[in-house]
Amino acid sequence: MKKSATVGLAFLLATSSIAPVAFADEASDEVLEEEVSEDVQEGEKAEEGSEEEEIELVTSLSLEQALERALEDNSSLMLLNYQLEILENQEGNTNLDYRDLEKDIEDLEDALDNLMERRRNLDPFDPSYIGERIGLGQEWNAMNDQLEMLEDTIEQLEDALEQLRSGQVTLVYNQDEARESIKMATAMTFTQLLMTEEQLELQRKSIDVLETEIANLDRQRELGLISFNEFNTEARELRIQKSDLEQEEKKYHHDLAEFALDLGLVYHPDFSLEPIELSSSALPEQETDTNELIENSFQYKAQLEAIEMAKYERERVYDDEDSSSYQKNEADLNVKVEEENLAQLKLNAEAAIRQLYFDIEDSYQAIQDAQRDLDYARYDYNMLERRYQLGLMSKATFEQAAIQIDQAELAHEMAKYSYFLVTQQLKALEAGVLPQQGQS
């Protein structure tokens, strides 16, 4: 009776608390929904703000900034770095296995010593002497076979460690070479885009002059001084030049957008490249010997490592008593192949370096020639300007002739840009990147 009364009381207490609890839950749910809604709105605003912060609209980019961005989060460098980390992890794991094997061999050698001690302590007059001696001999043979297997395994681990070490060294050289090559390629693309931009500017000026000329021809046509065919021929040339300019501008903006994208930038119509300070005051002389340049290069060092690895493997083959004469001959040939690769690398590098310095001299001379032509063009321009001021030349004819000085200035700038490009290859060479034949 007491039990049922207690249960009933508990039921009443439970049911009486349902309504206020439900109401409280509904109220708290409403408050929670309001808070969640506010949090979501604030979160959306924060996300919008963070997106605005992440999207950095760069309006101008210098060469130094381009080089920095080209090296940041570069996929090729990241892959090389991952590969290097993998080799380092493999080396660490192999070293652990090597130490474990060394401990196993040490324990096995101690066990063999104990076995020998037990054999020496056998009593030859004991009836069980022969049986114990045979048993110890069998145990000895089994343990000795196991020791030989462990020693073979540890030799394999030594080979693996040497290969991992060599692989890491080669990867480091590849990383350094890739970094310098990326810098050189970025500088070349940056420079070529600037060259294209200046060429387009001259084309625009030429079209402006041609439009003025066409307008004059149109007036002459209206006055009957020239035929429609003569006018139409010049007008057609203007249309062709405008069409060509439009296509070249599209290609330029496409290349510029692609360059910006490669650097992780958002391209927009106001994006531009900052001019480079071009200097050609003196022709650089070769201060470092060609052989030294080659031997300091990443390719040369990597090839030396390949030779050392081939020699190491040859030594392993010769040390192995089970190696056949064919295996030894193959190991010898592998060393000769790597040594021949090094000799060929030196020959190609010597030719490429000679060509690079020839191109530098040629580019430097091109600047001097372009400067001379520019001086002549400026002199001619001054003479034409005097004639124009004296009324001996029409404005249209003067403007048409004046475009020649723009062409001479552009040719001078292009020569300086070309010189800058080959000197970038020289900087890369001094940093350890060998030029390729025909590259410059």
> Once rounded to an integer, what is the mean pLDDT over residues 270-282?
86
Asked whether the predicted pLDDT for residue 71 surpasses 60, the reply is yes
Predicted pLDDT of residue 439: 59
Predicted pLDDT of residue 440: 53
d(CA 104, CA 122): 27
% of the chain beyond a pLDDT of 90: 61
**Residue recorded with tokens 């920095």:** 68
Question: Is the distance from CB of 314 to CB of 334 less than 8 angstroms?
Answer: yes
Predicted pLDDT of residue 275: 94
Beta bridge partners, 272, equal 60
Predicted pLDDT of residue 438: 60
Other Cβ atoms less than 10 A from the Cβ of 180: the count is: 18
- Helices 395-431 & 325-389 angle (0-180, nearest 10): 160
> Once rounded to an integer, what is the mean pLDDT over residues 212-225?
88
Q: Which of 24-28, 91-95, 242-246, 346-350 has the lowest mean pLDDT?
A: 24-28
Q: How confident is the model at residue 209 (pLDDT cuts 50, 70, 90)?
A: confident
Q: Which of 34-43, 175-184, 276-285, 316-325 has the lowest mean pLDDT?
A: 34-43
Higher pLDDT, 136 or 310: 310
Asked whether the predicted pLDDT for residue 272 surpasses 70, the reply is yes
Using the Cα atoms of residue 48, residue 50, residue 52 and residue 55 in order, give the sign of their dihedral: negative
Predicted pLDDT of residue 125: 80
Predicted pLDDT of residue 52: 45
Predicted pLDDT of residue 90: 95
Q: How confident is the model at residue 347 (pLDDT cuts 50, 70, 90)?
A: very high
Asked whether the predicted pLDDT for residue 18 surpasses 50, the reply is no
d(CA 56, CA 65): 14
Asked whether the predicted pLDDT for residue 2 surpasses 60, the reply is no
Q: Which of 414, 29, 415 is nearest to 196 (CA)?
A: 414
The full set of domain ranges for the chain reads: 1-41, 283-318+325-440
Beta bridge partners, 60, equal 272
Asked whether the predicted pLDDT for residue 353 surpasses 90, the reply is yes
> Once rounded to an integer, what is the mean pLDDT over residues 403-410?
92
Asked whether the predicted pLDDT for residue 11 surpasses 50, the reply is no
Number of H helices, E strands in the chain: 10, 2
Predicted pLDDT of residue 23: 34
Average pLDDT over all residues of the chain: 85
Question: Is the distance from CB of 106 to CB of 151 less than 8 angstroms?
Answer: no
pLDDT tens sequence across 139-152: 888 988 999 999 99
Predicted pLDDT of residue 339: 98
Higher pLDDT, 359 or 30: 359
Three-state DSSP at 60 gives strand
CA atoms within 13 A on the CB side of 188: 16
Asked whether the predicted pLDDT for residue 33 surpasses 90, the reply is no
% of the chain beyond a pLDDT of 70: 86
Q: What is the pTM of this model?
A: 0.76
